[in-house]
């Protein structure tokens, strides 16, 4: 299955103690192979807590540290989650750090065949 595109679904600052709700409505049929979470200042992701769901199916039980997902393709968790056109991926990222964090969330999208 070849890579179709990288899709940045969030770029912004999450304040200390704050949460960010992120929604991505798919524009086609893909496999989400990886969800990459990247800190602009290359800080540890261990104090960012994440929940992820696709429609009514949860990928995470409760919250997990953002380190689970990885910063790059080599280290990222392989998800292989099918998403069809119109379906909505939802994420919540909570910043448990004592400082504001500027992050990017990127999907690695592959074709279904």
3-state secondary structure of 8: strand
| Overall average pLDDT of the 2-15 stretch | 94
Return the CATH class of domain 3-110: mainly beta
Residues 30-52 pLDDT 10s: 999 999 999 999 999 999 999 99
Residues 85-113 pLDDT 10s: 999 999 999 999 999 999 999 999 998 76
HEC letters along 59-110: CCCCCEEHHHCCCCCCCCCCCCEEECCCCEEEEEEEECCCCCEEEEEEEEEE
Burial of 41 (0-12, 13-18, 19+ CB in 10 A): exposed
| Overall average pLDDT of the 52-81 stretch | 92
Cα–Cα distance measured from residue 14 to residue 20, given in angstroms and rounded to the nearest whole number: 7
Cα–Cα distance measured from residue 33 to residue 111, given in angstroms and rounded to the nearest whole number: 10
- Segments making up each domain of the chain, as ranges: 3-110
């Amino acid at each position: 299955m070849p890579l179709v595109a990288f899709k940045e679904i969030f770029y912004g600052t999450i304040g200390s103690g704050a949460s960010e709700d992120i929604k991505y409505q798919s524009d086609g049929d893909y496999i989400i192979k990886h969800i990459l979470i990247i800190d602009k200042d290359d800080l540890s992701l261990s104090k960012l807590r994440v929940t992820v769901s696709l429609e009514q199916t949860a990928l995470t039980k409760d919250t997990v540290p953002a380190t689970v997902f990885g910063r790059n393709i080599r280290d990222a968790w392989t998800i292989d989650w099918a998403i069809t056109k119109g379906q909505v991926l939802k994420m919540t990222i909570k910043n448990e750090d004592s400082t504001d964090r500027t992050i990017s969330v990127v999907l690695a999208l592959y074709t279904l065949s």
